[in-house]
Structure 1
């Protein structure tokens, strides 16, 4: 019995010891897990703090480290998503794309997938891979049609097609959004995007149809200033100025504080100017300057105000406006035609130095353009050449002509070639070089409307060089070929002088 009790007690001892060992081991394991979980939470919070403080690259790296260290942690998908978002905020779009793509592959069942796929598309959009972006945006709508991001993704797909120049595909995508999601806010925006595209394509009847659809969508008593804006633009292009004026006028009356109001006043100014109502156009252009933060529009308004004042003979007021425009021109990317207009007006008001600055900027833009407007190149150079001559910068004028022939060898510029001859002849008194310039003109531009002027210039140069027989021949050719020339009488007088005095 004693032996039995001994073994029984020993057995109980071992069982109890094993139980205590298991309890201790389990507690230690739970404690270790608790410690690891607490450490993981602290590391996640640290990375989140970096993100919130705008230290995006560091935050992205910390979130990546978190995922590598705790790949099975419940917050691993969120950490990878935030890593991609941090790279995106740092404008490192390639790294952001790779991170989102990694998340999509590693966590295919994550509830974050709609946002991940949307962000993949945004990365491509910011990389200007517009067709890839459009495809990825459409994938969001296809794979997650019930998600709140689906209509927004379709809208962005349409805009991506538009940015690529695929306007028909953009319209079809916007229409898909309109028909699939008739009750979302993006539906109205899609209609406006379609209006914009039709307007750019000069499909004005289609644009008006879309505007009518927008007016049907808007609830009674709710209006949108863009309706009046686009209706005004369409009617303006159609030449229906009263209708255009009516819509722009309604816009400024109903939405005086909207950002489109200043642009509408500018349009009203243009319409009044085209109809010859100078006082009204002045009033409208002045109003376009109120509550206007668009530097390009302000610049154009100053140009128009200066132009009208010059037409009225108020040259001091005109110059004041043009100088204001000039001060803006130094600090903004301006429309080419507007800058050209500024240069012309400054030259007209004999502000040659300021005009020269504008012409130099215009020429710089022309030389940088992949497809410059060839119809304006020679005109701009000719105008700038005249400014330099009037300014007395004759050597610079000659260099300008040389620069033109190098920069635009394929552009015909008979006016510029003629001006070269005049410059050498009349201003620099270099008659031999002027003679060559006129002769080159006559060889290249026999059908030019300026050919009679070149013929006269050639004859004058021969006369100045005392080559009277050659001069006489050129004068006779002029009288024979150009009986209606502007210089016909003077040529007769010069011919008679040579015949009676020299020959």
Structure 2
């Protein structure tokens, strides 16, 4: 479109404004009035001669064009004759002179008119208002600082004129310049109102400003983008002002509006009409006419029109642009040689701006012809010559684009893109340069720079159409720098912005990949399930199903994973990751408990793609599978196939380690060390190196090279292993210390393992070893604590059974028999060790026995015998079965049990001994309680046999006092009192315990029963006052009280056989015994009877 010049300047260049009230006629009339003295309101006859003289000189100066002299005289008049009747007219004509002088002073003129208007009865108000408004308007044009104020004042003055003089002859001027002032003030709508009022005046068409007003009205309508209304306005000028010199420009404007409205067919004839008029606008018209041809898709016509412009107006300002446009038209017509010729012609012109654009087009043609080197040469030559204009950045972009295609020059390309972005900041080319810089950096794997350029782009050009492409660069940079979560979010934003982008399918899959790598597997399933309809290519659908299936696998939804992965293979088995689908399918099948299907899938991968990455992945998976089956030869075969391949460097360290591991599991430790050492030599910084170091240490330990093994494990610790790897190293070091009998050192490693690796897979073994290490250090409490942890955390393991046993033993030793019973029951339930099972049942029986649950105890001992009929605790169990029945009062059954146990003990032989003191004690009880059962059944001779055998087998038994006592008791029951007294005496004479006191008591009883009172009473007294007397233990005090009571009874018998003083003495003795009970043993059960007998004696 024609560049719009300042409309006021344009109008002034084609017309002259009418100046108001300055003709000689007006001054002549005024002078006549002065001479005649008939001027209304301002009679010259009232002026002094001096004033009239100054006035006349000023008028003469003004009428003869000596405006500076006139101004001086008018000012002189106003200064010396300020109150003269002619002062207001003098002020008015002062304003006229200031307007008319060679360098008008419009503001001074305005002030003069203002002074004139201030006078009462001023005759020339209408003229003065019109002239003042014009002066303010003109002053505003020349005073940018106060322009708005001047235009506002002009509008106010014109408004006052129109209101005071509605029919003023100056209405057209007042309305026109009001429109001009409003327009210049940025109020085109108000301007249109003023212009339209002028056009609509009854005699508007007669005004010399009529055509100007129509033109100005059209321009103001254009400024408001009221294109159709502007066309109507310009149409009035064409029809109503056919002779106007504005006609060519108006036709140009009409045509340009049609172009703006994309009405190119309507615009073309208007441009042609102006072109044919051979006016100053004809070259512009041809230029725009060619543009219409371009828009009408007639590049040949466009090229011819451009050629016409160049031929007819070679000096035109549009000549260079026409050459370029002609080249563009030939380019669009596919005539690249003709186009290049035009652009080459531009290069010969002395026009840097046009040459720059031409260089850009030449580079574009070269690029289209895949002549990258030519693009570089053209662009470098243009840059060296000097670039100018809008296309300067484009030429640099051409060079950068060409350089970016070669890795060797891509860094230079990025620098150029960055320079363009900086130099052209804020422009579309800067946005594209930043994008290209980011994309090239992404291709170069300079991910940090790619991300930086993308961030800069989004900060500066967030509304640019390239935003989706830039977000792709940002997302990929994030994804490839290990920020998948951020990348997924960026892809989400990208997909929301770009519903129809041709790369949308790719972005859907890449966004899902980012979510997968961010381990947001549910999001992957959700994204791809929803987007599946947008993926049209089978390969893309298969890829989506692959990711969905893999995500289900990660979510432990193996059923869904199997279905989706199988569907992926059905959708397409030809895409580039189809083999990888089978590899993953095999993994799912394996974890779903279908190892045979997994093996089949991996073998299929090897058959279909033997040399592919997936093929070697399948080999690796098969090796792991076979290793898990302990088919170490088969596993090693696949590991070795991987090692034989030259292109599997990523799998080589794993394969080396796996092959060494297989050798280790086959107990080929030396061979294993060779491969493990190779891992550590070639891949010392690889993650698998830590596993290799661990396996190496195990091999050395197995070979008995403990010091080397220890060094290996300590070196592994220095590598900073984490998690399970750390746990393995610590455990192996602990085992070495256990083997070296260093429980304190072992416990340090084991405690660290428990604290730092709580999820260690063999933590039950760790706790077990730690418990034993603490026990070996004598810290039984800590040992039991760790055994307890083992039981709680791993209740169903075999080690937990043993740990339960140890916990039960501790509780048993503490007397917590109920808790002990629970622990022993757990141990018995979960152990697979026959020896432990025997001990667990045995201790469970003992716990029940201690709780008084004799029937339960008996059942536990019976289970023990059933589980270990020939176990080392066989006799113990038999004894305890009998003991349980003995405690339950089942003496006949108990006796039978003791008889069976006795058979085995007797078979062991005298002095054979027992495994431990507890077992020895039980063997002794066989005879003690066997004899006691016989006593309960009144089988005194059998009882004596039991006791005799016990003394013979166990002469040093702690139960010897009891045996002597029980023997004496049997003889007493058989009325063999001398023997009874003999055995009772053995106890009473040699021991000072409760059994001895009881034996002494029984000796007294025997004498009492034989009426040997003088022998009986001393025996009772030995009990009463012996064994510590009043300081005797509680259990002996019982026998002291009973002995006193029996002694009292003996005294009462003496009373019956005596008389006189002896009888009185016998009474006193008897009462003394009864009082002893009440005084010394007030809580005893015999106190009441003793008091009763004492009372009876008192009455004698």
State if a TM-score over 0.5 links the two structures: yes
Q: Unmatched 5+ residue regions in structure 1?
A: 1-18, 367-375
Q: Does 1:479 align with 2:569?
A: yes
Superposed counterparts of 1:316-465, under 5 Å: 316-328=411-423, 330-334=425-429, 340-349=435-444, 350=446, 351=449, 352-358=451-457, 364-366=463-465, 381-390=471-480, 394-404=484-494, 406-407=496-497, 413-426=504-517, 428-442=518-532, 445=535, 447=537, 449-465=539-555
Hey, what's the Cα distance between the residues in 2 that align with 1:252 and 1:219?
Answer: 15
Hey, what's the Cα distance between the residues in 2 that align with 1:340 and 1:104?
Answer: 55
Structure 1 residues 191, 275: closer, same or farther in 2, change over 3 A? same
Report Cα offsets for 1:6-65 as digits up to 9, x if no partner.
xxxxxxxxxxxxx99983555826848735743225664344223310233322233233
Structure 1 residues 74, 57: closer, same or farther in 2, change over 3 A? farther
Q: 2:321 aligns with which of 214, 226, 229?
A: 226
Q: Unmatched 5+ residue regions in structure 2?
A: 1-32, 45-85, 94-112, 114-127, 595-1100
Deviation at 1:244, TM superposition (A): 1.1
Q: 2:89 aligns with which of 24, 34, 48?
A: 34
Of 318-327 and 207-216, deviating more is 207-216
Corresponding position of 1:111: 208
Corresponding position of 2:377: 283
Corresponding position of 2:405: 311
Q: 2:282 aligns with which of 168, 187, 191?
A: 187
Hey, what's the Cα distance between the residues in 1 that align with 2:434 and 2:43?
Answer: 76
Hey, what's the Cα distance between the residues in 1 that align with 2:258 and 2:318?
Answer: 28
Hey, what's the Cα distance between the residues in 2 that align with 1:320 and 1:441?
Answer: 39
Q: Does 1:124 align with 2:218?
A: no
Q: Does 1:51 align with 2:141?
A: yes
Say which structure, 1 or 2, has more relative contact order (CA 8 Å, 6+ apart): 1
Mapped contact 1:263–1:288 kept (Cα < 8 A): no
Q: Does 1:65 align with 2:162?
A: no
Structure 1 residues 20, 102: closer, same or farther in 2, change over 3 A? closer
Please state whether the residue corresponding to 2:37 is helix, strand or coil.
Answer: helix
Of 285-294 and 117-126, deviating more is 285-294
Q: 1:298 aligns with which of 389, 392, 396?
A: 392
Report Cα offsets for 1:217-275 as digits up to 9, x if no partner.
3479999223321221112112222211111001110x232532210111112222333
Deviation at 1:90, TM superposition (A): 2.6
What is the total number of aligned residue pairs between the two structures?
471
Q: Does 1:84 align with 2:179?
A: yes
Mapped contact 1:61–1:83 kept (Cα < 8 A): no
Hey, what's the Cα distance between the residues in 2 that align with 1:407 and 1:275?
Answer: 34
Mapped contact 1:322–1:346 kept (Cα < 8 A): no
Corresponding position of 2:341: 246
Alignment TM-score, normalising by the size of structure 1:
0.81
The root-mean-square deviation of aligned C-alpha atoms, in Å, is 3.5
Structure 1 residues 286, 479: closer, same or farther in 2, change over 3 A? same
Corresponding position of 2:195: 100
Mapped contact 1:94–1:123 kept (Cα < 8 A): yes
Q: 1:23 aligns with which of 11, 27, 37?
A: 37
Structure 1 residues 126, 346: closer, same or farther in 2, change over 3 A? farther
Report Cα offsets for 1:427-453 as digits up to 9, x if no partner.
x11223223323333355364641111
Corresponding position of 2:245: 148
Structure 1 residues 164, 339: closer, same or farther in 2, change over 3 A? farther
Corresponding position of 1:14: none
Hey, what's the Cα distance between the residues in 2 that align with 1:439 and 1:98?
Answer: 63
Deviation at 1:83, TM superposition (A): 3.1
Q: 1:273 aligns with which of 361, 367, 373?
A: 367
Mapped contact 1:432–1:461 kept (Cα < 8 A): yes
Of 137-146 and 26-35, deviating more is 26-35
Structure 1 residues 221, 158: closer, same or farther in 2, change over 3 A? closer
Corresponding position of 2:1095: none
Mapped contact 2:417–2:436 kept (Cα < 8 A): no
Superposed counterparts of 1:133-144, under 5 Å: 133-144=230-241
Please state whether the residue corresponding to 1:311 is helix, strand or coil.
Answer: coil
Mapped contact 1:329–1:339 kept (Cα < 8 A): no
Structure 1 residues 240, 24: closer, same or farther in 2, change over 3 A? closer
Deviation at 1:386, TM superposition (A): 1.9
